[in-house]
Structure formats: C-alpha cells, structure tokens
Amino acid sequence: MLELVNINRLEPGMFIVKVTEQMGKITVTSAGKINDQQYIAVLIKKGILQVQVDLSKSTHLVKEHDEGELDDDTYIDASGLTYAQQLEHTLKLYDKVKTIQGRLVKQVAKGNINNLDEIDEITQDIVNKAFDSDDAIGIAILLKETDEYFLEHSINCAILMVMFGRSLGIERATLQHLGIGALLMDIGMLKLPLLLTSKATELSQKETKRIQQHVDVSLQLLESVDGIDDVSLEVIQQHHERLDGSGYLDGLRGQQISMYGKMAAIVDTYDSLITSRPYREALKPADALKKMEDEELGLDKELINKFIGCIGSNPVGSLVKLDTGKLAMVMRLNKNLPMSPTVMVFYNLTTKLDEVFQLDLSIVEDKIEGSVLPDDFNLDLSGFLRNSFFNK
C-alpha cells in the first residue's frame, strides 16, 4: 500500500519508495527504510518536502508495542527449545501422527489391525510434548483440513485427552492409555458408507442407529489386537455415553460412566463443535465452551469447568480481536490472569497492515474484545503458522 507522506510526518521505520516533492535538484536515489531521526533531518536539510512510502514494508506502527512485546527466549521449555521451536516441533509431531494414523486407516480398510506399536509410540510422543510444551501442542488442535475430519478429529481428541488428564494429575502411563483410546475411538466410522458419514442433511432414525454402531465396530476391530489396555477400551466404549442416559452404546447414566468416559465425552464434543461439518458451521472455541457449560448436553459440568481451566476460556490457538482493532492468536495462557494471555498479533484492522509480534496482555493497555474464526478473514491457520511465525 503506497501513501504520500509530508516530511514533517515522516517516522523511523517508514519505507521510502521515491521523492515526490522537493526544493532544489538533490534527490533520494534509492528506496529504503528510515532508521532514525538523524536521517529525516538530512532529508529536510536537502529540501525534501514529500515522499512516497510503502506501508506494507514499513515497521513504524510496531514500535509502540515494545513494552509488551516478548523475546522468543522468554519461553524456553524443559527441552531447551524456544517458543518458535516448540511450535515447529509440534507441527512436525502433528504431521507424524497424521502419517501413522493414515497407515492405520489403510489397515482398517483391509479389515485387519496388525498391531498398535506405532500408535503406542506416537502417543508417548504426545504425552512428552504435553509435559514439555503444553501451550504449543494446544495450537495443533485448531489446524483443520476439511477433507480429513475423522483423521484429525481423533488426533485432536488424543491431544486434548492427554492435556486434560495431565491437568487433573493423572499419571503418565494412564495418560498414554487415554491418548491411545482417543486415537482409536472413531476407527469404526471408517467402516461405514461415506455417503452416510458425510451426509449434509438430517439423519433418519435408521441412519442414526447405523452411525451409532461405529462404537461397536471400533471395539470389534480391536478384539484381536494384543496389548491394548482396559483404560483405552473404556474411552472407546463410553465416549458417547451421557449422564442422563441419552447416549450410546449402552445408555449408561451418572456414575455408571467412568471418569475417563466422561472426559472422553467432553473432548469429543468440544472438538466436534469447533470443526465445520457438512451439516453445520464450526463454533468459535470460546462459544463452544460456553455452549458446553450452559446447555444440558449430558456432560459432567464439574469436569467441564476443569476442562475450561485446562485449555482456557480463549484456548491456545484461537483467534481473537483486541480492543485496539488488531487480530491475534492466543499463544500462551496466563493461569493467574485467565483473560490476559500472551497473543501473537498478526494484522491491524485499522491500518489494513500485517503486524507480527507477541504481546503479553497482562502488561499492556489492551484486552480481548471477542473471538473470531479463521474463515472470517480467509485465513489458512496452518499455512499462517508455518509461513509467518517461523520465517518472520
């Protein structure tokens, strides 16, 4: 975006394209960024009256945020990784999980699951990442590909189950079994007709019964697999049970459902609500949590509150609009001040310019006005993370 700027409005950080008005014959021979006030004084001395500035290459608007801007070294994890490195490792882990899940899908298509060695190994990686970089791994949950719902849904649920379980103080070995259960709880869906699982209109009673059979199919597929823990099977069997008895497979009620089954129901519902499906639009993460908290969905309300405490009312990875008119992504939660997380600003709605910097909302005069969806601004979240944060 090009703009004409009078010499008295020139600021350090502005990128000059050319001189448009001057006294005398001296000209600026090349484009470039103004580094300091001294250079502006030189231009004034040379008789420059007006210049053309490229705002897309200028950085003068960012300087006002230095007080709340964070160095990448501020957040070093247990492995010694900077936050940008944590994000990069998280995305690589997510891609690795998708590859392994893809191989499992092919086994299911052939009707035979040979073993779960790779699933066991990758779930251990998820558990380790949750302990080392819990905020960074939370971002992966919101990276969606519309044509890979069942694959990504199971991965997201595994990450959420591990994060949730860790926040509740569940031991590592059990966390791994919970993650495995979540990764496998919808594999039975892969045996159902695609026209049924992707239907955009309301299901008939018969079709609903058919969909509900995916839990039983999942358990049948795993019958011949050695080494799968009872905790994992419990997650698979109970993730659609509801406290009021309206769920399935067995119509369990209240305390008949284990804590792991109640946890699975919560993470499964949450990830489903924040994902676009053929029959409905995705909810913003904050709206999904409010719906789960306020409405009677047959979920355990006490555990829902603990889940919100775990992932935050504006979860890591969610997009927000700030009072100052900037768009940002929540990067780190603030346990002491839940409404003031650290965010990554990436766009200014007022100036229509990209601005990429981290901001700690607990130490600056700005706050979250509300949440937004990536689709509202045609934003490819995965591409944005990979291209902007790691190459800035």
Q: How many helices (H) and strands (E) does the chain have?
A: 14, 9
Q: Is the pLDDT of residue 391 over 60?
A: no
Tell me how many degrees the CA angle 170-175-181 measures, rounded to the nearest 5.
135
Average pLDDT over residues 8-35: 76
Do 141 and 317 form a contact (C-beta atoms < 8 A)?
yes
Q: How many CA atoms lie within 13 A of 93 on its CB side?
A: 28
Residue 250 is predicted with a pLDDT of 95
Share of the chain above pLDDT 90, in %: 46
Neighbours of 37 (CB within 10 A): 11
Neighbours of 98 (CB within 10 A): 15
List CB contacts of 5: < 8 A, sequence separation 6 or more. Answer: 14, 50, 51, 52, 53
Q: What is the pLDDT of residues 334-366, one digit of tens each?
A: 888 889 999 988 888 888 887 778 889 988 889
Task: Considering only residues 18 and 298, tell me which one the structure prediction assigns the higher pLDDT.
Answer: 298
Tell me how many degrees the CA angle 95-129-332 measures, rounded to the nearest 5.
100
Residue 338 is predicted with a pLDDT of 87
What is the Cα gyration radius of the chain?
25
Q: Where in the chain is the domain with CATH 3.90.105?
A: 2-60
Assign residue 325 a region (left: φ > 0; alpha: ψ between -120 and 50; beta: otherwise). left
Neighbours of 201 (CB within 10 A): 8
In this structure, of 91-105, 206-220, 234-248, the range with the lowest mean pLDDT score is 91-105
State the Cα–Cα distance between residues 135 and 115, nearest whole angstrom. Answer: 31
Average pLDDT over residues 32-36: 77
Q: Is the pLDDT of residue 78 over 50?
A: yes
Q: Where in the chain is the domain with CATH 1.10.3210.10?
A: 77-311
Average pLDDT over residues 196-216: 92
Q: Is the pLDDT of residue 53 over 90?
A: no
Reading the block at residue 380, the tokens are: 């490819």
Do 155 and 184 form a contact (C-beta atoms < 8 A)?
no
State the Cα–Cα distance between residues 156 and 267, nearest whole angstrom. Answer: 9
Q: What's the residue count for the chain?
A: 392
Reading the block at residue 85, the tokens are: 């490195």
Residue position matching structure tokens 């891609």:
95
Task: Considering only residues 264 and 130, tell me which one the structure prediction assigns the higher pLDDT.
Answer: 264
Confidence class of residue 392 from pLDDT cuts 50, 70 and 90?
very low
Confidence class of residue 154 from pLDDT cuts 50, 70 and 90?
very high
Do 104 and 68 form a contact (C-beta atoms < 8 A)?
no
Homologous superfamily of the 77-311 domain (CATH): Hypothetical protein af1432 (1.10.3210.10)
Reading the block at residue 203, the tokens are: 């299901």
Looking at domain 2-60, which of 3.90.105, 3.40.1620, 3.30.420, 3.30.720 is its CATH number? 3.90.105
DSSP-derived 3-state class of residue 242: coil
Residue 232 is predicted with a pLDDT of 98
**What residue type is 49 in one-letter code?**
L
Residue 60 is predicted with a pLDDT of 67
Q: Is the pLDDT of residue 247 over 90?
A: yes
In 219-240, which positions are buried (b, 16+ CB within 10 angstroms) versus exposed (e)?
bebbeeeeebbebbbbbbbbbb
Do 237 and 182 form a contact (C-beta atoms < 8 A)?
no
Q: What are phi and psi of 13, to 5 degrees?
A: 105, -20
